[in-house]
C-alpha cells in the first residue's frame, strides 16, 4: 500500500491529498515537517481543543495550539497548486532498458505539466545531461552496466548546483543496507522494482512539489536579502550593509596588500531643495543621484546611502589616482544633471571627500578610513563645495 494511502482512504478530495503528502513528508523529510510546524503560528492551523480560551490562544498570532499537519499541508498545497500546474517540468529518465524508460515516461505523462523528457542509458550519460539541461527531477535505475546509479550519485555530489534536483532511484534490491547507501549518496527517494504505477506517481509528485517549494523559498530569501541590504529610495546599499562591507574590504586589503579607496559625497545645499521645491523633489534628486553613482562605478565597486543626502563608494583594487579620476567624473555628471519633477527642475552639485590606502604597510581601520574621508569632505564643503578633496596627513582627522 502506498505511503499515506490509508489516510487517503479515510479522507476525500484535498484532505486526502494533504494527509498523504504530510505522512510522506514526516516520514522521509523530517526537517520539512519541522518547517511545516511553523504554520502552527498562523490562524486556523491549530486544532480546536475544547475550551474557548485554548481555541483563541491557538488561533492568535504566535499561539501554540495543537499542530494539525493536514491543515498545514493543505495550506501549502493550495498556495502552490496553480503555479505547479502551469509550470512545465523537465524529467530525466535513466535506465539501460529502453522499454523501462518508455514505461516510466508513460506513467509520468499522467501528471499535468510533465510534458518534456530526456533519456539516458547509463549514469555517465545521465550526469552529462543533468549538467547541460538541469532537469526538474530525475528517475534513475540503480543497477546498470558500466556506470550504475551509485556512480551517478557520486558524480552529482561533485556539483553543488545539482544538489537541489531530486533523484528517485529504482531498485530491485530489498536489502535495507543497500537502501541506506542510496540515501547516503544523496538520493531523494527510492521505488522498488517492479514498481507500482500509483506509487511512482505519488513519490514523483511529492518530490516535485518539494522542489518547487524549495525553489520559491530560495528566491524569496534572495529577495529578502536584497531588501534587507538595499536603501528603498536610492536603490543603493544601505548603511548597515556598507559598514559590514567596508570592514571586510579592509581585512582583505590587510591580507592581500591590495589598494582600497573610500569616497563620501554630500549633496550641496540639499536642504534648500527640500525647502524650495518640496520633499518630493528632494526624493527625486536622491533617486537620480543613486542611479548616476551606481552606473558610474565598476561592478566590483559598491555604492551605499550613508545617511540623509550623503552617499559612500568603496573602490576595490583601484589605485589612488584611479579613485580620484572616477570620483571627478561623477562630480561633473552630478553638477550637469537636471532633476525634473513635473514642470519643475533643479540642479544639485555634490562635494566629495576621499581616503585611500595603496596596500603597502598596515592599512587604516575602517573607522579611520571613514574619518579621513569625512575630514576631506568637510574641507571640500568649507572651501567652496562642488569639488573633490583627497585626504592628506596634513588634515585634521576630526573636523573642528
Residue-by-residue DSSP string for 251-288: HHHHHH---EEEEEEEETTHHHHHHHH-HHHHHHHHHH
Between 301 and 45, residue with greater pLDDT = 301
Phi, psi of 264 (to 5 degrees): -110, 135
Which of the 8 DSSP states describes residue 162? G
| CA–CA distance, 43 with 348 (Å, rounded to integer) | 51
Shortest CA distance to 172 belongs to which of 194, 189, 190?
A: 194
The yes-or-no verdict on residue 395 having pLDDT over 90 is no
Whole-model pTM: value is 0.57
What is the per-residue pLDDT for 87? Answer: 59
The yes-or-no verdict on residue 31 having pLDDT over 50 is no
What is the per-residue pLDDT for 24? Answer: 46
Give, in order, the Cα–Cα distances in Å from 319 to each of 57, 126, 262: 62, 48, 11
Rg of the chain on CA atoms, in Å: 30
Cis? peptide before 194, omega within 30° of 0: yes
C-alpha cell at 135: 532537469
Helix (H, G, I), strand (E, B) or coil at 396: coil
Top mean-pLDDT range of 28-37, 64-73, 118-127: 118-127
The yes-or-no verdict on residue 93 having pLDDT over 50 is yes
Percent helix, strand, coil in the chain, to 5, is 55, 20, 30
Q: Which residues contact 97 (CB under 8 A, 6 or more apart)?
A: 141
Which of the 8 DSSP states describes residue 79? H
* End-to-end CA separation in angstroms for the chain: 81
Which of the 8 DSSP states describes residue 237? B
Name the one residue in this structure whose C-alpha cell is 583601484: 318
Per-residue pLDDT band at 32 (split at 50, 70, 90): very low
Helix (H, G, I), strand (E, B) or coil at 315: strand
Mean pLDDT of the chain: 82
Q: Which residues contact 189 (CB under 8 A, 6 or more apart)?
A: 28, 166, 168, 169, 203, 207
Q: What's the pLDDT tens digit per position in 355-386?
A: 999 888 888 999 999 999 999 999 999 999 99
Phi, psi of 248 (to 5 degrees): -65, -40
Task: State mean pLDDT over 129-151.
Answer: 93
Helical (H) or strand (E) element with 10: helix 5-10
Task: State mean pLDDT over 206-229.
Answer: 87
Give, in order, the Cα–Cα distances in Å from 157 to each of 152, 163, 165, 276, 346: 9, 7, 11, 62, 58
Q: What's the pLDDT tens digit per position in 58-84?
A: 334 444 444 444 444 454 444 445 454
Percentage of residues in the chain having pLDDT higher than 90: 63
What is the per-residue pLDDT for 359? Answer: 86
Show contacts of 41-45: CB within 8 Å, 24+ apart.
Answer: 42/75, 44/71, 45/71, 45/72, 45/75
Shortest CA distance to 374 belongs to which of 235, 252, 271, 246?
A: 246
Helix (H, G, I), strand (E, B) or coil at 381: helix
Q: Which residues of 296-307 are buried (b: 16+ CB within 10 A; e: fewer)?
A: bbeeebbbbbbe
Amino acid at each position: 500500500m502506498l505511503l499515506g494511502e490509508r489516510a487517503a482512504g479515510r479522507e476525500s478530495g484535498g484532505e486526502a491529498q494533504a494527509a498523504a503528502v504530510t505522512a510522506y513528508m514526516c516520514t522521509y523529510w523530517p526537517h520539512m515537517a519541522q518547517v511545516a510546524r511553523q504554520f502552527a503560528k498562523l490562524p486556523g492551523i491549530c486544532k480546536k481543543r475544547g475550551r474557548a480560551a485554548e481555541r483563541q490562544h491557538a488561533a492568535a498570532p504566535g499561539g501554540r495550539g495543537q499542530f494539525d499537519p493536514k491543515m498545514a499541508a493543505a495550506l501549502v498545497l493550495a498556495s502552490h497548486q496553480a503555479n505547479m500546474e502551469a509550470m512545465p517540468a523537465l524529467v530525466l529518465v535513466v535506465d539501460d532498458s529502453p522499454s523501462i524508460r518508455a514505461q516510466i515516461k508513460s506513467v509520468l505523462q499522467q501528471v499535468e505539466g510533465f510534458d518534456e523528457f530526456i533519456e539516458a542509458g547509463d549514469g555517465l550519460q545521465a550526469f552529462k545531461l543533468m549538467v547541460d539541461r538541469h532537469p526538474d527531477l530525475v528517475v534513475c535505475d540503480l543497477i546498470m552496466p558500466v556506470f550504475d546509479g551509485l556512480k551517478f550519485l557520486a558524480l552529482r555530489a561533485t556539483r553543488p548546483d545539482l544538489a537541489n534536483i531530486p533523484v528517485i532511484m529504482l531498485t530491485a534490491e530489498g536489502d535495507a543496507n543497500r537502501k541506506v547507501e542510496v540515501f547516503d549518496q544523496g538520493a531523494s527517494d527510492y521505488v522498488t522494482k517492479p514498481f507500482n504505477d500509483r506509487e511512482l506517481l505519488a513519490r514523483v509528485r511529492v518530490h516535485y512539489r518539494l522542489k518547487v517549494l524549495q525553489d520559491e523559498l530560495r528566491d524569496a530569501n534572495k529577495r529578502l536579502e536584497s531588501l534587507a541590504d538595499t536603501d528603498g529610495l536610492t536603490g543603493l546599499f544601505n548603511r548597515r550593509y556598507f559598514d559590514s562591507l567596508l570592514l571586510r574590504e579592509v581585512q582583505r586589503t590587510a591580507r592581500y596588500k591590495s589598494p582600497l579607496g573610500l569616497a563620501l559625497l554630500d549633496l550641496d545645499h540639499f536642504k534648500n531643495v527640500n525647502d524650495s521645491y518640496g520633499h518630493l523633489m528632494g526624493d527625486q534628486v536622491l533617486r537620480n543621484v543613486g542611479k548616476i553613482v551606481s552606473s558610474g562605478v565598476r561592478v566590483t565597486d559598491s555604492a551605499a546611502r550613508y545617511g540623509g543626502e550623503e552617499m559612500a563608494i568603496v573602490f576595490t583594487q583601484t589605485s589612488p589616482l584611479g579613485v580620484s579620476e572616477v570620483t571627478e567624473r561623477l562630480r561633473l555628471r552630478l553638477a550637469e544633471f537636471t532633476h525634473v519633477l513635473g514642470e519643475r527642475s533643479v540642479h544639485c552639485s555634490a562635494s566629495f571627500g576621499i581616503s585611500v590606502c595603496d596596500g603597502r604597510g598596515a592599512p587604516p581601520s575602517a573607522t579611520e578610513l571613514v574619518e579621513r574621508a569625512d575630514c576631506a569632505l568637510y574641507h571640500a564643503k568649507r572651501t567652496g563645495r562642488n569639488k573633490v578633496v583627497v585626504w592628506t596627513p596634513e588634515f585634521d582627522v576630526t573636523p573642528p
